[in-house]
């Protein structure tokens, strides 16, 4: 099994792929927690629960863990130095928790590279998150999302989709 994580301080996406097939996806909503420390406590408990579930899987063990690499540069109007610093710090903390609890060194993969491995092309001018969501809805029968009362995908849908792409890209990398 390969676990993919899209770590964020707002909503963290998680996906598990086995034999190239999506077998589980989830998200952890961290928006209501005030600081990195509270968010870390919640993530640690989630990871402990996930580890327990993975250990109960017969004939399947977690072999690799992939984490989406945190941003390294400013993206026009989207991220400040403070935001990047907090995100990178949280990504490092959660990555350490993953290593400590699962006893597997997580491998980091950029979102562009992960999409390429997963066979997703983002046309110029299109938003990557939207393209990924549509691609998975059309090509991954087990991926279902919920919508807001206005007909928009709920926010966690995008994080779950990104985690699925990370896990599937990890599968591709490990099986090339």
Percent of the chain predicted with pLDDT > 90: 82
Stated as kind and residue range, the H or E segment containing 36 is helix 36-56
Give yes or no for residue 176 having a pLDDT over 60: yes
Task: Specify the pLDDT at position 79.
Answer: 60
Instruction: Please provide the average confidence, as pLDDT, over all residues in the chain.
Output: 92
pLDDT value at residue 161: 97
Kindly list the distances between the CA atom of residue 67 and the CA atoms of 64, 70, 96, 157, in Å, as whole numbers in the listed order.
Answer: 10, 9, 11, 17
Residue 107 has a pLDDT of: 97
pLDDT tens, position by position, 64-103: 999 999 765 445 555 677 778 888 999 999 999 999 999 9
How many whole angstroms separate alpha carbon 50 and alpha carbon 9? 19
pLDDT value, residue 170: 96
User: Does the structural domain 2-174 have CATH classification 3.40.50.20?
Assistant: no
pLDDT in tens, 3-62: 999 999 999 999 999 999 999 999 999 999 999 999 999 999 999 999 999 888 777 899
Q: What is the pLDDT of residue 33?
A: 96
Q: Could you tell me the residue ranges of all domains in the chain? A: 2-174
Tens of pLDDT, residue by residue over 130-150, are 999 999 999 999 999 999 999
Looking at the predicted structure, is the pLDDT value of residue 110 above 80?
A: yes
Region for residue 59 given its phi and psi (left: phi exceeds 0; alpha: psi -120 to 50; beta: otherwise) = left
pLDDT at 78: 56
- Gap between the Cα atoms of 5 and 96, Å rounded: 13
């Amino acid at each position: 099994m390969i676990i993919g994580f899209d770590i964020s301080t707002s909503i963290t996406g998680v996906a598990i792929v086995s034999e190239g097939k999506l077998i589980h996806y989830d998200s952890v909503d961290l928006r209501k927690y005030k600081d990195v420390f509270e968010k870390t406590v919640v993530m640690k408990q989630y990871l402990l629960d996930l580890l327990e579930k993975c250990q109960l899987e017969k004939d399947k063990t977690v072999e690799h863990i992939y984490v989406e690499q945190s941003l390294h540069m400013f993206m026009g109007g989207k991220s400040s130095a403070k935001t990047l610093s907090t995100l990178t710090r949280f990504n490092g903390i959660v990555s350490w928790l993953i290593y400590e609890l699962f006893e597997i060194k997580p491998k980091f993969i950029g979102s562009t590279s992960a999409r390429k491995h997963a066979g997703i092309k983002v046309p110029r001018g299109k938003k990557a998150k939207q393209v990924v969501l549509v691609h998975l809805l059309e090509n991954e029968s087990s991926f279902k999302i919920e919508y807001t009362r206005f007909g928009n995908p709920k926010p966690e849908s995008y994080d779950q989709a990104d985690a699925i792409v990370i896990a599937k890209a990890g599968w591709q990398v490990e099986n090339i």
